[in-house]
Structure 1
Amino acid sequence: MKSTFILAAALLASAAQATAQTAAPASRVAPDQITTKQGPLTVQPITHGSVVLTWSGKTIYVDPYGGGEAYTGLAAPDVVLITDIHGDHLDPKTLASLPVSKALMIVPPAVAEKLPAEYKGRVRVLSNGQQLDTLGMHVAAIPMYNLPEAPDAMHPKGRGNGYVLGLGGKNVYFSGDTEDIAEMRALKNIDVAFVCMNLPYTMDVQQAAQGVLAFKPGIVYPYHYRGQNGLSDVAAFKKTVNTANKKIDVRLRNWYSAAK
């Protein structure tokens, strides 16, 4: 009898330890759920330009960055999307700390050239304008770049990708590092948009607001809003957008709650 109690106690302790190891960080903001024709789309902000989507039994990591601890308790990715070569998008240290061994990696050519060799066999390369259907989703690579266009720009045209994902009848746009470019303004039927605004690298608040008012997404998340001078005023972004168009659901989330 004594050995039975000891065994039971050991099993309970082991289970408690496993739960502690996989529990979500206390600082992580709560996820949102968005209805699609194929079940809920879960949106989990991580930090800066990093987000995790869960949909139809698939998990998608976008620009995983900030260290593996930020992803504790989340399912291993089926797909990893990377937008550009900079360290807050292509972060080899974070990738190495995550369970990405079975993930399909969708990246622009410049990122493919810089990925560690161990990932090369699972890479699908998309250039601006190219599309891919995989795992029940549609992926379109969208230009992202600085204005005015210049070869020495921080983000020259053609190097990085924004993405539009088709998930259960919903179109989800990730801007990547861009300005208020014509290709963004021309987007149609975007249900959910993640839009950057961090000077001097991308847009200011007014540029981002005017771009969003042009393509009219149903829901927009300001993300990637820390720049050289701190955080952009996302409340001002929301006010500008909703003063002009009350139908756009501007969702402000704290993308820097886990920042170290």
Structure 2
Amino acid sequence: MKNLLIIVFTLLSSSLLAQEVISTTKGNITIHPIVHGTLAIEYDGMTIYVDPYGGAEGFEGLNDADLILITDIHGDHLNKETLEALNTSKSHFIVPQAVADQLGGIDNAKIETLDNDKSTTFKGIEITALPMYNLPENEESRHPKGRGNGYLLNIADKVIYISGDTEDIPEMRALQNIDIAFVCMNIPYTMTINQASDAVLAFKPTIVYPFHFRGQGGLADVEKFKSIVNAKNENIEVRIRNWYPKN
């Protein structure tokens, strides 16, 4: 599995755009970490943006999105300034209802709402919305259950998990056969590195990217997250990337 991923750096507009190429039985998946919880995925001539945030400059060198996935209503996920700066005229959106309710100015015919535990397909990719929420579940929760979506993407023979803003909920811990996972860890909004590592050890993805790790106290210690995970399971490949290039 470790040989599946090749890191390529391409010079674009005087900045480096990281590309991580993962082989599948039907061609390559290219992943672009962009910033915080934002990434792009390319496969079979298709481009997917996840939670576009941070301005259009982060997407320089990428094709316009065929598909845009948004996880939640908060500004680092549903960022209308970034969406307005990008060309989304041909983009299909898959979002939770709470996000759809705030997507004014976007052609509603291109917005598909997806509730937790429901699935849809887009150009051969199966997409499942998963719960993402804080514990304990109460009225003060920053992320109540049912409002936002994590996502599972089935692309060729690979399954990609995108956590959204969540704690180490039972639905995440019960995941199986995940090839690539993007897992958040920023307090007080989502998880501590101990919670995140415990959850990752429970569902055992082949590769995990810690992302969305800027919280009130700065950046989480993702190196420590990696050491905790690998001390108990050296077969989980923790890939630390630069999600905060301006820091």
Q: Same fold (TM over 0.5)?
A: yes
The CA distance in 2 between the partners of 1:90 and 1:112, in whole Å, is: 10
Q: Extract unaligned runs of 5+ from structure 1.
A: 1-22
The match for 1:18 is none
Deviations 1:132-183 (A, max 9, x none): 0121100000000000011331000000000000001100000000000000
Q: Where does residue 209 of structure 2 map in the other structure?
A: 221
Corresponding residue number in structure 1 for 2:69: 81
Query: Alpha-carbon deviation of 1:194?
Result: 0.1
Instruction: Provide the C-alpha distance between the structure 1 equivalents of 2:224 and 2:29, rounded to a whole number of angstroms.
Output: 27
2:4 aligns with none
Cα offsets for 1:2-57 (capped at 9, x unmatched): xxxxxxxxxxxxxxxxxxxxx73544452111111211110100000000000111
Structure 2 gaps of 5+ residues are 1-10
Deviations 1:175-199 (A, max 9, x none): 0000000000001110000000000
Identical amino acids, percent of aligned pairs:
53
> 3-state DSSP class of the match of 2:198?
helix
- Could you tell which deviates more after superposition, 115-124 or 47-56? 115-124
Deviation at 1:117, TM superposition (A): 3.1
Structure-2 separation of matches of 1:111 and 1:24? 32
What is residue 47 of structure 2 aligned with on the other side?
A: 59
Q: Secondary structure at the match of 2:212?
A: coil
Q: Runs (4+) of structure 1 moved beyond 2 Å?
A: 23-29
Structure with the higher helix share, 1 or 2: 1
Match of 2:8 in 1: none
How many residues are matched? Answer: 237
Q: Distance in 2 between matches of 1:225 and 1:123?
A: 29
Equivalent residue for 1:195, pick from 183, 200, 204:
183
Distance 2:167 2:202 in 1: 13
Between the aligned partners of 1:136 and 1:193, the Cα distance in structure 2 is: 20
Corresponding residue of 1:186 = 174
Of 56, 59, 67, the match for 1:68: 56
- What do residues 115-146 of structure 1 show as CA deviations (whole Å, max 9, x unaligned)? 02333220010010110012110000000000
CA–CA separation in structure 2 for the residues paired with 1:101 and 1:238: 40
Residues 137 and 167 of structure 1 are in contact (CA less than 8 Å); yes or no, is this contact kept in structure 2? yes
TM-score by length of 2: 0.93
When Rg is computed on C-alpha atoms for both structures, the one with the higher figure is 1
Q: Distance in 2 between matches of 1:102 and 1:215?
A: 36
Check if 1:43 corresponds to 2:65. no
How far is 1:258 from its partner?
Answer: 3.8
- Partner Cα separation in structure 2 for residue 245 and residue 96 of structure 1: 43
Corresponding residue for residue 115 of structure 2: 127
Residues 131 and 139 of structure 1 are in contact (CA less than 8 Å); yes or no, is this contact kept in structure 2? yes
Cα deviation 1:55-112 (Å, max 9, x = unaligned):
1111000000000011111111110000000000000110011111101100000000
Structure with bigger strand share is: 2
| Alignment map for 1:104-119 (pairs within 5 Å) | 104-119=92-107
RMSD: 1.1
Which of 113, 132, 150 aligns to 1:144? It is 132
1:103/1:68 Cα in 2 relative to 1: closer, same or farther (>3 Å)? same
